[in-house]
Structure 1
Amino acid sequence: MRIVMAGASGLIGTALSSRLSSDGHDVVRLVRRAPSSPSEIPWDPATGTLDPACLDGADAVINLSGANIGARPWTPHRIDELFRSRLDPTRTLAAAMRRLDSPPLTFISQSGAGYYGDAGRSLLTESSPAGQGIMARICVEWEAAAHEAPSGVRVVTPRTAVVLSRSGGALGRLLPLLRAGIGGPLGSGRQYWPWITLPDLSSAFGFLLTSGTSGPVNVAAPETSDVNTLVAALAGALHRPALLRVPAPALRLVMGKLADELLLASQRIEPTLLQDSGFTWQHPSIASAADWVASGK
């Protein structure tokens, strides 16, 4: 397949493009700088600039664009940036597809588990309603923008869980602390974090390219876990204690509303469509995921 990918330079994009290339697919990357190889195409989503001919002949488009949610405090300017960095690229891609006589058959445009807001202990499937908060609003608008693709394009909006990797991503700051034996749960630790390992995430996106599934898909591991369990499993795999809990008030003092939505919100997600479609996880349990993270192999 010829696959055009936006957001290929991030943690997920780098792993996914490598996986797709190794599987024999032709991956073309959209870049905001001068192209450095024939496999790169320039675009400027901030101004809606993309030559539709770049998508002509592509079998699928994968959109992973979006500024890092937790990189900086959520000032009004930053919140606007979080919206624009997701909506502008998605709308640019959809608009380019609408200008083609034969657009790509599949458009996979990332969303997030933040769609559900803070849902406590409720079990969340793809049919569960959107929650409240900034992240929920971003995801609702993000998914709506993807559905601006022309009729006949299969649109998939993966609601991606917290990605566990050996470096960077959601564990980028927590893992070094756990390795040093000075980490611990965040807040009460009773909030559910949906999670998935980076290899399983790449496999899931590859699976969705050909599965025929459309609409929202919960991309998470089948085993749910609260933060206490997740951190304990990681610390155990690293043979370190995890006793230094960070209380919620301290997190809010340092991070403001970002703490409530990114760290303290609870989303107990069930990947119903992936399970029903026959997807197989390499790391289905938190124990196997923690062992993989800790092994470094």
Structure 2
Amino acid sequence: MKILITGGTGFIGRELMKHFTTYDVVLLTRNIQRAKEALKHIDHGNIHYISSLSELLDLNGFDAVINLAGEPIVDRRWSRKQKEVICNSRWETTEKIVDLIHASAQPPSVFISGSAVGYYGNQESHPFDESLHVNQPKFPHLVCSTWEQIAKRARTDTTRVCLLRTGIVLKADGGAMKKMLPPYRLGLGGPIGSGQQYMPWIHIQDMIRGILYLLKTPHAHGEFNLCAPHPVTNKHFSKQLAKSLKRPHFLFTPKWVLKLALGESSVLLFDSARAKPKKLTELGFQFNFSRLEPALKNLLHHSQ
């Protein structure tokens, strides 16, 4: 199998690349030397690095495209300039891939492109699945909905499109969990605000398995919630994490403190999304970690 992948050195991409050692991979990266260093333990001479999609005239000969590229949405305050960086890093890359697919006489059979549960915005405590259609002015929805609409343009009779509406991906040495663990290990962890907002989480192992499942399931197409079947409130998550670490759980962070510190981006912490992975489970996918407690135990055990 020949695959074009963007974002292959990112948080999810690095884990995914471990499963592509027997494939012919073309990796788009802004810094080829840094990418080679990051992937040297899994590069068996099967990875070809490119720094621009302009190096490709079409995608003839490629079996699949996996598009995970994008500026991290939570690392900086959302200034006007940062919003432009977040949007352009997703939209422009996706547009170029779509153009390459349409320029191909024999295009890839599948295009898997990133998105996030931020598409749904705040849905309070109501459970929902991929059938929920949302139209709202909040920035996360704008980013995701535009990103998805661009990716959908690649859909033809020969190319199916799968959109990854990703939840909070749990991995002890990366992402949100890496930032959370130090204060929790010091006994300083606690819920955010009221803690009643739902967190659609997913174990990194199931995240990767889900992508691979969509890659290899010919009838899979459309939007997919990449999150465990049992989302939990922030308060429950916080309490379970403290319990797994055998630490006290009595502090909390007031909402106004984070609003002051993070500005508009604080909506990512307070919006409630009780998302269910209905389409993925209906396809027959089975989660290794459908509930939080065993997921945390597994992640913390392997981090020690």
Task: Name the TM tier (shorter chain).
Answer: over 0.9
Which residue of structure 1 lines up, in the alignment, with residue 228 of structure 2?
Answer: 221
Whether the 8 Å CA contact 2:28–2:49 is kept in 1: the answer is yes
Q: Which residue identity does 1:142 align to in structure 2?
A: W
Shift of 1:56: 2.3
Which residue of structure 2 lines up, in the alignment, with residue 79 of structure 1?
Answer: 83
Distance 1:38 1:274, change over 3 A: closer
Q: Return the alpha-carbon distance in structure 2 between the equivalents of residues 130 and 30 of structure 1.
A: 32
Shift of 1:150: 5.3
Q: Return the alpha-carbon distance in structure 2 between the equivalents of residues 293 and 51 of structure 1.
A: 39
Which residue of structure 2 lines up, in the alignment, with residue 42 of structure 1?
Answer: 50
The reply on whether 1:6 has 2:6 as its aligned counterpart is yes
Whether the 8 Å CA contact 1:31–1:40 is kept in 2: the answer is no
Q: Which residue identity does 1:31 align to in structure 2?
A: T
Whether the 8 Å CA contact 1:117–1:131 is kept in 2: the answer is no
Q: Return the alpha-carbon distance in structure 2 between the equivalents of residues 114 and 18 of structure 1.
A: 27
Which stretches in structure 1 are left out of the alignment for 5+ residues? none
Distance 1:245 1:131, change over 3 A: farther
Q: CA RMSD in A?
A: 1.6
Normalising by the residue count of structure 2, what TM-score does the alignment of the two structures yield? 0.91
Q: 2:181 aligns with which of 175, 185, 196?
A: 175
Whether the 8 Å CA contact 1:95–1:148 is kept in 2: the answer is no
User: Which is further off, 218-227 or 130-139?
Assistant: 130-139
Shift of 1:57: 1.2
Q: 2:31 aligns with which of 30, 33, 50?
A: 33
Shift of 1:38: 6.1
Which residue of structure 2 lines up, in the alignment, with residue 246 of structure 1?
Answer: 253
Q: Return the alpha-carbon distance in structure 1 between the equivalents of residues 207 and 151 of structure 2.
A: 20
Shift of 1:50: 4.1
Deviation string, structure 1 residues 71-114 (Cα, Å, up to 9, x no partner): 10011111111110100111111111111100100000011000
Structure 1 residue runs of 4+, over 4 Å off?
34-38
Q: 2:285 aligns with which of 279, 282, 296?
A: 279
Whether the 8 Å CA contact 2:198–2:273 is kept in 1: the answer is yes
Q: Which residue identity does 2:47 align to in structure 1?
A: S
Q: 1:185 aligns with which of 181, 191, 194?
A: 191
Q: How does 1:80-95 map to 2 (within 5 A)?
A: 80-95=84-99
Q: Which residue identity does 1:70 align to in structure 2?
A: V
Deviation string, structure 1 residues 12-64 (Cα, Å, up to 9, x no partner): 0000111233xx4333311223475661232436xxx34134x3211110000
The reply on whether 1:134 has 2:142 as its aligned counterpart is no
Q: Which residue identity does 1:179 align to in structure 2?
A: R
Whether the 8 Å CA contact 2:32–2:51 is kept in 1: the answer is no
Shift of 1:276: 0.6
Shift of 1:293: 2.1
Distance 1:131 1:165, change over 3 A: farther
Shift of 1:253: 0.7
Normalising by the residue count of structure 1, what TM-score does the alignment of the two structures yield? 0.93
Task: Report the identity percentage.
Answer: 33
Which residue of structure 1 lines up, in the alignment, with residue 39 of structure 2?
Answer: none
Whether the 8 Å CA contact 2:26–2:50 is kept in 1: the answer is no
Q: Which residue identity does 1:144 align to in structure 2?
A: Q
The reply on whether 1:268 has 2:266 as its aligned counterpart is no
SS of the residue 1:80 aligns to = helix
Whether the 8 Å CA contact 2:25–2:46 is kept in 1: the answer is no
Which residue of structure 1 lines up, in the alignment, with residue 42 of structure 2?
Answer: none
SS of the residue 1:259 aligns to = helix
